[in-house]
Structure 1
Amino acid sequence: MSHPSSPRADLVAGGDAAVRGLVDRLVALALTGLPRMRDGDGFAFTLRGVPDGAGGWRTEPSGRSVRYAAITALGVLALPPEARAAALGGEPVEDLIARLVALLDESGPAAVTSLGDVALIAWAAAAARHDGLDRALKRLAEADPPGTGRAVFTVDAAWVLSALAAARGQAETSGHFERARARLLAGAAASGLFSHQVGGTGLVPRYRAHVGCFADQVYPIQALARAGDQEAVAAADAAARRIVAAQGSGGQWWWHYDARTGGVVEEFPVYSVHQHAMAPMALLDLARAGGTAHLDPIRRGLRWMTEPAETDVPLIHDDLGVTWRKTARSDPRKAVRGARAVSTGVRAGWRLGGLDRVFPPTAVDRECRPYELGWLLFAWLEGA
């Protein structure tokens, strides 16, 4: 099958054939990998790399994830209609979305209880103009009632706004949209960045209340850009400028930030999905909304996929249909992240530099999750 058209890739490449070719390669990889991630009528939580006994690797599925299935649906909707079923192992994307919407009525162990999961299902239904959209929006309103002082995870709050933005023109959601927009805008700190929760307190320990991860930045940038008004786009622009200013010399999008100052709390892990999908997705949505076009940082982030500074282990495996998930410290208890959250909480910028020597970032996490490939398709093909 020929590569789907990607005007976004043409824009980012700017004539750089290597960058353009890399995007084509990654899109082809996603089309190979996603059908292998099917698990019955849904999607696995992850594919784990397992030595194949001959010096190479094979993958084994593990777990199930409603959230990842919804993100996959969003990515597959960005494909040309004739390519969608193949990416889902032969299933029409409308059938996948119908099953996801039906899950919103389930109770007991099968119930969808996460606000973020409900928002993603509603977003997919809106993007598909699916018959189940009204039900999904009703469930989203129930999961996200009005009121003050209720803390919400920042990523969930961003997905709520993106879902409601996608539903505009299909349903009356203006009241919920305005509340979701105001909540996310109010969550931006003076630096322009976001911590891990908005709208209240209590979801995260006090020692790390100032910390926001990369996802806590890119999903609000995307959602505010999709909200589209001048104030929202300006807030998205402010957050984008901070993460771009902090980008590593090798194109790395770092992991933990101090929302108060905009500084980096902890660099690692560096996730492949941030490099090839999530940063491009958010920054290109921002440019489309009239914000700053950070094309060179997107290019640098992409190049990290083939030239990671931390390892000589290949991260892209076309034959397996995966990109290895991240480069990280050999720090299974995440002690560095915790220590740096505590130290920067005590004094902004205090980083305990000796930890870099004790825990160098040389480990490679050999797994790949469906949402990584779903966002990859969405980043480069949505709107094409």
Structure 2
Amino acid sequence: MTTTRTKAVVAAETDLSALLDRLLRLAETGLPAMYRPERKTFVFTRAAVTPAVLGAEPRLEDRGESVRYAAITVLGAKLLPEDRQRPIFGGLTAAEYAGVLVEQLPGVGNLGDAALVTWAAADTRHPKLDDALARLAALDDLDEGAAQPRYTVEAAWVLSALCAARGLTDATGVERRLQTARDRLLRARLGAGPLFPHATGPGLLPWYRAHVGCFADQTYPLQALARAHASTEGGDPAALAAADACAARICELQGEGGQWWWHYDARHGTVVEGYPVYSVHQHAMAPTALLDLTEAGGADHGEAIRRGLRWMTQVPELREAPGGGTPEPMIHDDLGVTWRKVFRGDPRKAVRAARGVGSLLVPGLRLEPLERLYPPVALDRECRPYEFGWMLHAWLGSLDSPER
């Protein structure tokens, strides 16, 4: 499992190297159980069902299905040797399965799903990439030059997909649409702040949360802008500068235990509410964005990546189990999962909602009585395919790899 990235980031630290190798093997062995061969789909999640007998191992239940999680799985699994791809996709290679997703695109109405399938088609050099690009164009308005507001994550995926398609097709409009997608992301930031809100413009969110962006709203744009710079002949200094600034700020705000916090005030570059802390952010999403940034010519945030990875086994929130017992680990090799998140367990996400609204008037507002009432000691016992897909993508890939 050792790659250029693992050598650069964790190979010098024996404990982290072993941890990462363990996680990558878990991803490769856990993904086949999330595939439904009869429908050629991936589940939305595998969730633990409480055992009837106290102390017994939980039973995992498959729930729903997801096109976007399937596409993200392709983006990660394509980096494995072909013989190790086939068990994940019911006997198909990642490229062959990308074709299955492209065939489904006429019935896909979600922009984010279409963008990820297009990205997967480009990364696997699928012959029907033009069909995927056509569907993406039908769902977005980039040919008009003044793109409508989109959710930030989906807008970032559109840009990453177009960067991946650059130079692979004679289809007209890719370069023009890429520039519009790039401009849309750069304009999305509020004021002079380095962080991104949840939407790229007004109209999609209620007024009281328009200033709030989640962790995904930071990592996907900084990754997309880094890729825009790396794929542009002569570079794109403005895109790289924006990616660098965003990365620097989320690393400055990282928790003492390596936590990547969840909600930010995009106006002031501050944390609104830290919890939940998600496993996928720690082992996959932060690394894939920050490593892409470094390879594109941006700053090196290796120490922040290492701190985040350590959280997976040194979870400070779970150090004291109820009743004084041994805390449950986040990683379960026997079940083929990493548990999804640590959270407060507050009804209707009360702390997050109160801090989000309160931060409109008082940036950085803390609500200590609520925080004491709902400490972050609850564990979400589920695991989703995209968590392993991004993990493989983060650690096995490179901006310089032939697949890209």
TM-score by length of 2: 0.90
Aligned to 2:108, the other structure's residue is in SS state coil
Distance in 2 between residues matched to 1:343 and 1:332, nearest whole Å: 18
Query: How large is the Cα RMSD of the aligned pairs?
Result: 1.3
Residue number in structure 1 paired with 2:249: 242
Distance in 1 between residues matched to 2:189 and 2:362, nearest whole Å: 20
* Matched letter for residue 18 of structure 2: G
Residue number in structure 1 paired with 2:80: 79
Q: Is the 8 A contact 1:343 1:352 kept in 2?
A: no
Aligned to 2:317, the other structure's residue is in SS state coil
Of the candidates 180, 192, 195, which is equivalent to residue 194 of structure 2? Answer: 192
Deviation at 1:159, TM superposition (A): 0.1
Residue number in structure 2 paired with 1:344: 359
Identity %: 55
Residue number in structure 2 paired with 1:38: 35
* Matched letter for residue 274 of structure 2: E
* Matched letter for residue 351 of structure 2: V
Distance in 2 between residues matched to 1:85 and 1:149, nearest whole Å: 39
* Matched letter for residue 266 of structure 2: A
Deviations along 1:38-68, whole A, 9 cap, x unmatched?
A: 1231100000012454522231111111111
> How does 1:1-384 map onto structure 2 within 5 Å?
4-39=1-36, 40=38, 41-52=40-51, 53=53, 55-105=56-106, 111-146=107-142, 147=144, 148=146, 150-171=148-169, 172=171, 173-189=174-190, 190-198=192-200, 200-228=201-229, 229-311=236-318, 312-383=327-398
Q: Is the 8 A contact 1:150 1:201 kept in 2?
A: no
Q: Is the 8 A contact 2:78 2:95 kept in 1?
A: no
Distance in 1 between residues matched to 2:59 and 2:300, nearest whole Å: 39
Distance in 2 between residues matched to 1:280 and 1:101, nearest whole Å: 28
* Matched letter for residue 250 of structure 1: G
* Matched letter for residue 286 of structure 1: L
Aligned to 2:346, the other structure's residue is in SS state coil
Structure 2 CA distance for partners of 1:332 and 1:32, relative to 1, 3 Å: farther
Q: Is the 8 A contact 1:79 1:382 kept in 2?
A: no
Deviation at 1:239, TM superposition (A): 0.2
Aligned to 2:96, the other structure's residue is in SS state helix
Residue number in structure 2 paired with 1:108: none
Q: Is the 8 A contact 2:82 2:93 kept in 1?
A: no
- Which runs of no fewer than 5 residues in structure 1 stay unpaired? 106-110
Deviation at 1:354, TM superposition (A): 2.0
Aligned to 1:155, the other structure's residue is in SS state helix
Deviation at 1:283, TM superposition (A): 0.3
Distance in 2 between residues matched to 1:77 and 1:274, nearest whole Å: 21
Deviation at 1:347, TM superposition (A): 2.2
Deviations along 1:282-322, whole A, 9 cap, x unmatched?
A: 00000000100100000000000001011132000111111
* Matched letter for residue 49 of structure 2: V
Deviation at 1:349, TM superposition (A): 1.8
Structure 2 CA distance for partners of 1:67 and 1:149, relative to 1, 3 Å: closer
Aligned to 1:63, the other structure's residue is in SS state strand
Deviation at 1:114, TM superposition (A): 1.0
Q: Is the 8 A contact 2:35 2:88 kept in 1?
A: no
Deviation at 1:330, TM superposition (A): 1.3
Structure 1, 87-96 or 284-293: larger mean CA deviation:
87-96
Aligned to 2:264, the other structure's residue is in SS state strand
Deviation at 1:149, TM superposition (A): 6.5
Deviation at 1:248, TM superposition (A): 0.2
- Which runs of no fewer than 5 residues in structure 2 stay unpaired? 230-235, 319-326
* Matched letter for residue 231 of structure 1: A
Distance in 2 between residues matched to 1:159 and 1:345, nearest whole Å: 28
Aligned residues: 375
Aligned to 1:254, the other structure's residue is in SS state coil
Distance in 2 between residues matched to 1:96 and 1:259, nearest whole Å: 38
